[in-house]
Amino acid sequence: MATTAAVLADIFIMFLAAKLAGELFERLRQPAVIGELLVGVVLGPFALGWIGVPTGAMIEAFHGEAQAGEAMASIYEVIAELGVIVLLFLVGLETRLTDLLRVGARAGVVAVLGVIVPFVLGYALVAALGHPTIEAIFIGTAMVATSVGITARVLADLGHVRGDEARIILGAAVIDDILAMIVLAVVAALGSGGRLTAGEIALIAGQAIAFTLFVALAGRHAVRRWSIHLERLRIRNAPFVVAVAVMLGLATLSAQIGLAAIIGAFLAGMVFAELRDQYELEHRALPLYELLVPLFFVITGSHVDWRLFLDGSILGIALAVTVLAIVGKLVGCGAGALGLGWRSVAIVGVGMAPRGEVGLIVANVGKSLAVIPDAMFSTVVIMSVLTTLVVPPVLTLLYRGQPAETVPMPRTTDQFAVADGRLPEL
């Protein structure tokens, strides 16, 4: 039982520290999420070591050997995964399909350009430095995906989660993740020495696109047709329970067919967005958010080895890759948003910048295939973190003076009395 007690203690320390840091950052008028990430860095195994180690694979990659804590590590992965699933589910609840379709074409352009430009820039830089082609391809791939968690959180904190820019970003991020997973599947096949026919590539791509369209359209149809039966169920709190089951189910399905679990969670939220107000689904999901989402950000922060920043040569390449990663999304995604005004272009570009855990996934795959060396892995880690850290302050700045569409973070204690289904506490 010692292990369970130790994990429980870790969860308590992470939760308490996250909330204390959140309180501090709120008072400094900064997003609480930065405080939560910094708590992870400080408490993590590379600094104080108060909370458990990150994944065995990460530790191994950093130090070239497995560590004692490896067996426990995946617990934190699972908790973090549940946290980001709940986060994207709540974001999905905010996103009615009809609203998304309104920005659909533009989101598609933003996503595609946001994949092509960073990939080309990353590939070109690494190839120009004389690294092997496969290495350049992996760095390019790590720069493709958008980790929309941080952006979604900042948009919600600022009360802009229902604005046009938010819908473009969220829509593009969904398309982007699908494109990134396709690219990763193809690149991983290349990295393991295999060859893919054009037909196989088309199959992977078709599966991913079909899944998203099917869930979004069939799910909406099912909800409209069957939701009346929710009231006949005998289990308590049936609509919320069914929504949670669908969230877990679509996340699982999406992970099983090779997409990120958060895509399924987002789609589940989108499907239930129609029933959001009728069954107070947001208010009921918020306690899950309060418990799990800060843990996700603390655990993400704990993956950062601050000592990497002390190595000048790694830092130099890392900063160059980071700059290209941000410029790539700013140019690619911003170009897709042209015509909305400079502020919206900048918001979309910056909002699409964070790579977060998606970049780390790509780095882990490359590492496990032994096609990218330690220094390049560290580079991707730094790029993922910096592109993520840069978003909250810049986005806050870009939205300054803009009236919020939803109520940003009310401080009263009667949020549950809010009846119009807004997402006040996200």
Q: Which residues contribute to the site for a second copy (CB under 8 A)?
A: 1, 3-5, 7-9, 11-12, 15-16, 19, 22-23, 26-27, 32, 70-72, 74-75, 77-78, 81-82, 85, 230-231, 233-241, 244-245, 248-249, 251-252, 255-256, 261, 279-280, 283-288, 290-291, 361, 364, 409-411, 413, 415-416, 424-425
Q: Which is nearer to a second copy, 287 or 316 (CB)?
A: 287
Identify the burial level of 225 via C-beta atoms within 10 angstroms of its C-beta, where 0-12 means exposed, 13-18 middle and 19 or more buried: exposed
Q: Which is nearer to a second copy, 123 or 211 (CB)?
A: 211
Min dist. Cβ of residue 295 to a second copy (A): 11
Cα 365 to Cα 222: distance, rounded to the nearest angstrom: 37
Cα 420 to Cα 426: distance, rounded to the nearest angstrom: 15
Cβ-proximal residues to 93 (8 Å cutoff; 6+ apart), any chain: 269, 270, 272, 273, 276, 281, 282, 285, 423
Min dist. Cβ of residue 313 to a second copy (A): 30
Closest CA to 110 of 407, 328, 396: 328
First to last CA, the chain: 35
Q: Which is nearer to a second copy, 5 or 370 (CB)?
A: 5
Q: Which is nearer to a second copy, 287 or 341 (CB)?
A: 287
The residue with tokens 């501090």 is: 24
Cα 88 to Cα 271: distance, rounded to the nearest angstrom: 12
Q: Which is nearer to a second copy, 252 or 402 (CB)?
A: 252
Min dist. Cβ of residue 364 to a second copy (A): 8
Cα 360 to Cα 390: distance, rounded to the nearest angstrom: 17
Min dist. Cβ of residue 365 to a second copy (A): 9
Q: Which is nearer to a second copy, 90 or 382 (CB)?
A: 90
The size of the chain, in residues, is 426
Distance from chain centroid for Cα 223: 26
Identify the burial level of 171 via C-beta atoms within 10 angstroms of its C-beta, where 0-12 means exposed, 13-18 middle and 19 or more buried: buried
Tokens at 16, concatenated: 């308490």
Cα 419 to Cα 407: distance, rounded to the nearest angstrom: 13
Q: Which is nearer to a second copy, 295 or 330 (CB)?
A: 295
Q: Which is nearer to a second copy, 187 or 345 (CB)?
A: 187
Min dist. Cβ of residue 103 to a second copy (A): 28
Q: Which is nearer to a second copy, 60 or 70 (CB)?
A: 70
CB atoms within 10 A of CB 294: 24
Q: Which is nearer to a second copy, 18 or 168 (CB)?
A: 18
| DSSP codes of every residue in 224-261 | HHHGGGGGG--STTHHHHHHHHHHHHHHHHHHHTTS-H
Tokens at 342, concatenated: 């400079």
Q: Which is nearer to a second copy, 11 or 43 (CB)?
A: 11
Cα 306 to Cα 325: distance, rounded to the nearest angstrom: 20
Cα 349 to Cα 393: distance, rounded to the nearest angstrom: 14
Alpha helices by DSSP H, 28-163: 32-43, 56-63, 70-93, 97-102, 104-128, 133-142, 148-158
